Structure 1
Amino acid sequence: MSDKIYLSTGELAKMLGVTKQTVIYYDKIGLISPAKREKEYRYYTLEQADELDSILTFRDLGVPINVLKDYLKERNAQSCIEMLRKQKEKLELEIQKMDRIRKKIDGRARLLEKVITVSDFKAVKFSEEERQLYMVEECKEADEKTFMESFIKLCNHSKRLQIDFENPVCNIIKKEDILKGSFRNTAYFGINISENFNGIDIVKFEKPAGIYASTYHQGSYETMYIAYERLLSSIETEGYIVCGNAYETDLLSTLTNLDKNEYMKLISIQVMKV
């Protein structure tokens, strides 16, 4: 060997704080090859140590290996700027995605924290509520399969629009079905959206501002009529009449509970004084 300083694979790896396997792998894929080989041994120059350090920095920044290989073939300041700019754009999109995920997690956690603090599930409350908008999917209840297809269609649409999980699914029951006692005749599945929300092929449904009577239902969906009967009885007793739709919001369901007897919905019906 000449007087020029060479580093073995192990020495180079130790200097840069990586494993020998990483250095060997980068050689095998053609990212950085040793300056010389003697039998089965690889030797790298000090300049290559600096080059590999830069490569590792780019990899830490998330630059894909194939992009890095192309860049290293014809590297210059301008191409480096372009590569970093593209990587920044990718990272900004990823940050936006992570922020949406964080908001969805926070929203569902806040909802669950509120639910587990409820002390009286059978209480009926009358309160003024603000106008709300829902993205809805019409519910076609010819049978259980089409019922579920409508539900899944809304869920898939909400995933594509990145608003799933943050807001629970709401069943909307029309006033005429409430008065007939057909409490399980869901007209629409909906997810709450903001006033300025826009998306492709969405159908919006308005929940008007007004007075709503609300209570919780805990148990299987087959026993929902018990909560409705409690609501309607209190509405009559307090001198109100039903003047709008019912909104059933899933709070605890298959997502959080194994036992369907622990499922929970918040039921709200629009009312007015007689």
Structure 2
Amino acid sequence: MGPAFFNASAACADKPSATRSASSKLSLCKDRLESRDYFPDYFANKLKAPILGERIVAKPKGLYAVINHRGSYETMSEAYSNIKEYIGSKGMAVCGSAYSVELLNYFAEKNPDDYVIRISVEVCKGRKFLL
């Protein structure tokens, strides 16, 4: 399976910024994750096929730690803290961005405490965990 391509509507510090819009995928750059600033850098939609463009971001192939967060958007910081703790306990380090995908959101569930959001963090094996 190749990398996932996304049409991003906002950017990390090293990429140009654009207007944000609501969608089902969020991305959080490594520097924000390390500083415990969990506000997403990208709001994006998965594309069926790769296309060229300055606002296209590819989620790289790699090793990811994954957690399903059940709860509102306001409680996602707990899930980020938990996954970072887990990564460290396994002797790994964050080596890329974090991505979240809404599996169950306000379109299908009225109660925000029942939302389900999958968070994936790109990790590397055998490195000292610095977070």
* TM-score normalised by length of structure 1: 0.41
Shift of 1:224: 0.6
**Residue of structure 2 equivalent to 1:187:** 41
Cα displacement string for residues 95-114 of structure 1 (whole angstroms, at most 9, x for unaligned residues): xxxxxxxxxxxxxxxxxxxx
Higher helix fraction (1 or 2): 1
Shift of 1:249: 0.4
Distance 1:204 1:223 in 2: 29
Cα displacement string for residues 165-192 of structure 1 (whole angstroms, at most 9, x for unaligned residues): xxxx211101001011111x21111111
> Is 2:90 the partner of 1:234?
no
> Is 2:116 the partner of 1:246?
no
Cα displacement string for residues 82-101 of structure 1 (whole angstroms, at most 9, x for unaligned residues): xxxxxxxxxxxxxxxxxxxx
Higher radius of gyration, 1 or 2: 1
Percent of aligned positions that are identical: 26
**Residue of structure 1 equivalent to 2:61:** 209
One-letter amino acid of the counterpart of residue 234, structure 1 = Y
Alignment RMSD: 2.0
**Residue of structure 2 equivalent to 1:173:** 28
* TM-score normalised by length of structure 2: 0.82
Structure 1 unaligned residues grouped into runs of 5+: 1-128, 140-148, 156-168
**Residue of structure 2 equivalent to 1:132:** 4
Shift of 1:194: 3.2
Distance 2:110 2:54 in 1: 32
One-letter amino acid of the counterpart of residue 219, structure 1 = G
Distance 2:91 2:54 in 1: 38
Instruction: Could you list the structure 1 runs, at least 4 aligned residues long, displaced by more than 6 angstroms after superposition.
Output: none
Cα displacement string for residues 203-247 of structure 1 (whole angstroms, at most 9, x for unaligned residues): 210111100000011111111111111111110111110000000
Distance 1:251 1:213 in 2: 17
Any residues of structure 2 matched to 1:1-274 within 5 Å, and which?
130-138=2-10, 150-152=20-22, 169-183=24-38, 185-197=39-51, 203-273=55-125, 274=127
Higher strand fraction (1 or 2): 2
Distance 2:115 2:47 in 1: 24
Distance 2:48 2:109 in 1: 28
Higher RCO structure, 1 or 2 (CA under 8 Å, sep 6+): 2
Q: How many residues align?
A: 119
